[in-house]
Structure 1
């Protein structure tokens, strides 16, 4: 399958083949299937974030909140995938963040 260049902004959960505005935080080279997998991770992060937002009105400690746990797992998975598919600049940047497990 053909790999294409994509620009990714993890803050807005944007994946685009067109560089525009601030969507170039990370650059990946990926197949359509890999982009679909990344999109699924982003969608799960979004859903967990919405659930956590509604939950914030209840006094539940962060470490006992499954929505936050799902979001945390999703963001680490997203960064791992960005690292795996990223160009050298992306890999270097993610390595400097020390977000991925050793």
Structure 2
């Protein structure tokens, strides 16, 4: 029985991802998606954790910048929050590239997020 669980845990299945919405779907007809990946349970959990972390960071950023929407000079805390958000986006797209179909990989390569070149 445990072996069957292990097999299903590591079996890769197709998923449809919307980074903008922070969603991972099994059914591509439910809502719009941008990218297609194949992932096992562990990889899917990693992606979900990154989306949750990004959502939390996005909320913190909205709160932080909402205090002074037309604020003057950029502060150190502004830079820290922006850097954290940027890092998470890069981490999300690196994982999506790793798990992505050839179309997904091509799309991510053309986005210009990774100036150092290929992501493999």
Same fold (TM over 0.5): yes
Matched, 1:61 2:74: yes
Question: What is the Cα deviation at residue 61 of structure 1?
Answer: 1.7
Matched, 1:77 2:91: yes
Question: What is the Cα deviation at residue 100 of structure 1?
Answer: 2.1
Larger Rg: 2
TM-score by length of structure 2 reads: 0.78
Structure 1 stretches of 4+ with a deviation exceeding 6 A read: none
Q: Number of matched residues?
A: 101
Give the match for residue 32 of structure 2. 22
Question: What is the Cα deviation at residue 63 of structure 1?
Answer: 6.6
SS at match of 1:97: coil
SS at match of 2:32: coil
Question: What is the Cα deviation at residue 71 of structure 1?
Answer: 1.1
Q: Which structure 2 residues correspond to residues 44-55 of structure 1 after superposition, within 5 A?
A: 44-55=53-64
Unaligned regions of 5+ residues in structure 1, if any?
none
TM-score by length of structure 1 reads: 0.91
Matched, 1:31 2:45: no
Q: CA RMSD in A?
A: 1.6
Compare 8-17 and 67-76 and name the one that shifted more.
Answer: 67-76
2:49 to 36, 40, 44: 40
Cα-to-partner distance string for 1:24-76 (whole Å, 9 max, x where unaligned)? x0000011110100111111110010001011123362774222221110000
What is the distance in 2 between the residues matched to 1:101 and 1:54?
31
Question: What is the Cα deviation at residue 21 of structure 1?
Answer: 2.3
